[in-house]
């Protein structure tokens, strides 16, 4: 994700300026800082999601290996390569989904960055062309996201009718009229994919806990010798690890939903100071939650 993701959030304030008068510089800064922190935290979560996926399949591979060893009397494991490749392909597909989500986010932020340029440009033709190119790439990315994930396009929430505020003028108005529904849909796709990743992570964590409990807790407990202090620490780690990750990813999806609603409010002239401040508070809460996991 782009370091200057905060520009995405600043653009809401800029649009609001066109629509409803000036807002304070301090509000811009707080909004931008919250947005920047949000994307850094989400980026960290996506890294964690990828790691959890690999960890879960590694546990499944070890279980398959142990089962085959037991069944074959510790003889050479025929066909074990096929099992490894199957799980490895699963990992690669999941990592590709996460990577494309990053790419989609990068393009979405590039769009908003160009929107800022368009809002303040005296010669908008070149910027308009750049916006068109970015939008085409964005739609290509969302198409790949839908192919990589189980999400079906006919299952996506429908785009509500967005009425552009009459006070927004010039090239900015022209662009928003042309692509406001498209951008709304792109944010929705990103929101839905994040929800799907949350489901994957929940399943992976359950798999990790189940298999690690058998391998690291129950098996030593049944052995003749056991380091009791070490066993207690291991059991605590296995049963409590990653307990907050699902909550954090769900909260990220909720924040993205709020982000989408702010986008609508900003171009419909309904963005209020209270809504901005509430979003900042929720975003900072999410960032703190993710920081606790590090």
* Cα–Cα dist 116/100, whole Å: 25
Cβ distance 252 to 283 under 8 Å? no
> pLDDT at residue 289 above 80?
no
- pLDDT digit string, tens, across residues 131-153: 899 999 999 999 999 999 887 76
* Cα–Cα dist 42/204, whole Å: 18
Higher pLDDT: 203 or 171? It is 203
* Cα–Cα dist 31/283, whole Å: 10
Residue 37 tokens read as 């922190």
Mean pLDDT of 208-222: 96
Mean pLDDT of 212-232: 95
Nearest to 46 by CA among 4, 114, 106: 106
Please tell me the predicted confidence (pLDDT) of residue 157.
Answer: 66
Residue 262 tokens read as 């702010």
* Cα–Cα dist 221/243, whole Å: 23
Higher pLDDT: 271 or 251? It is 251
Mean pLDDT of 176-183: 85
Please tell me the predicted confidence (pLDDT) of residue 2.
Answer: 34
DSSP string spanning 91-125? HHHHHHHHHHHHHHHHHHHHHHHHHHHHHT-SS-H
Query: Buried (b) or exposed (e) across 198-227, using 16+ Cβ within 10 A?
Result: bebbbebbebbbebbbeeebeeeeeeeeee
* Cα–Cα dist 210/218, whole Å: 10
DSSP string spanning 228-243? HHHHHHHHHHHHHTTT
Average the pLDDT over each of 11-20, 40-49, 79-88, 221-230 and give the range with the smallest value: 11-20
Please tell me the predicted confidence (pLDDT) of residue 221.
Answer: 96
- pLDDT digit string, tens, across residues 76-120: 677 788 899 999 999 999 999 999 998 888 888 778 777 767 766
Average the pLDDT over each of 17-31, 150-164, 232-246 and give the range with the smallest value: 17-31
User: Could you tell me the residue ranges of all domains in the chain?
Assistant: 3-291
Which pairs with CB-CB distance under 8 Å and at least 24 residues apart come from 24-29? 27/273, 27/276
Q: What is the dihedral of CA 18, 3, 182, 259, to 10 degrees?
A: -70
Q: What is the largest CA-CA distance in the chain?
A: 80
Please tell me the predicted confidence (pLDDT) of residue 19.
Answer: 43
pTM over cut 0.75 = yes
* Cα–Cα dist 95/99, whole Å: 6
């Amino acid at each position: 994700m782009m370091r200057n993701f905060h520009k995405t959030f600043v653009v809401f304030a800029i649009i609001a300026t066109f629509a409803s008068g000036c807002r304070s510089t301090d509000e811009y800064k707080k909004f931008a800082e919250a947005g920047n922190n949000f994307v850094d935290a989400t980026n960290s979560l996506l890294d964690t999601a990828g790691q959890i996926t690999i960890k879960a399949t590694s546990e499944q591979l070890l279980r398959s290996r142990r089962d085959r060893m037991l069944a074959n009397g510790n003889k050479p494991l025929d066909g074990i390569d096929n099992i490894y490749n199957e799980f490895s392909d699963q990992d690669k597909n999941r990592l590709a989904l996460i990577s494309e989500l990053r790419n989609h986010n990068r393009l979405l932020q590039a769009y908003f960055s160009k929107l800022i340029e368009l809002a303040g440009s005296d010669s908008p033709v070149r910027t308009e062309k750049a916006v068109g190119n970015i939008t085409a790439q964005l739609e290509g990315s969302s198409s790949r996201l839908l192919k990589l994930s189980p999400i079906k396009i006919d299952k996506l929430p429908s785009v509500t009718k967005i009425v552009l505020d009459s006070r927004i003028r010039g090239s900015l108005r022209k662009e928003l009229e042309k692509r406001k529904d498209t951008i709304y849909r792109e944010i929705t796709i990103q929101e839905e994919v994040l929800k799907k990743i949350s489901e994957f992570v929940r399943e992976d964590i359950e798999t990790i806990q189940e298999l690690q409990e058998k391998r690291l807790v129950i098996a030593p407990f049944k052995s003749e010798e056991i380091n009791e202090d070490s066993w207690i620490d291991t059991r605590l780690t296995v049963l409590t690890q990653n307990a907050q990750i699902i909550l954090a990813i769900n909260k990220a999806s909720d924040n993205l939903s709020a982000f989408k609603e702010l986008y609508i409010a900003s171009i419909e002239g309904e963005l209020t100071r209270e809504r901005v401040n509430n979003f900042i508070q929720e975003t900072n809460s999410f960032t703190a939650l993710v920081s606790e996991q590090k």
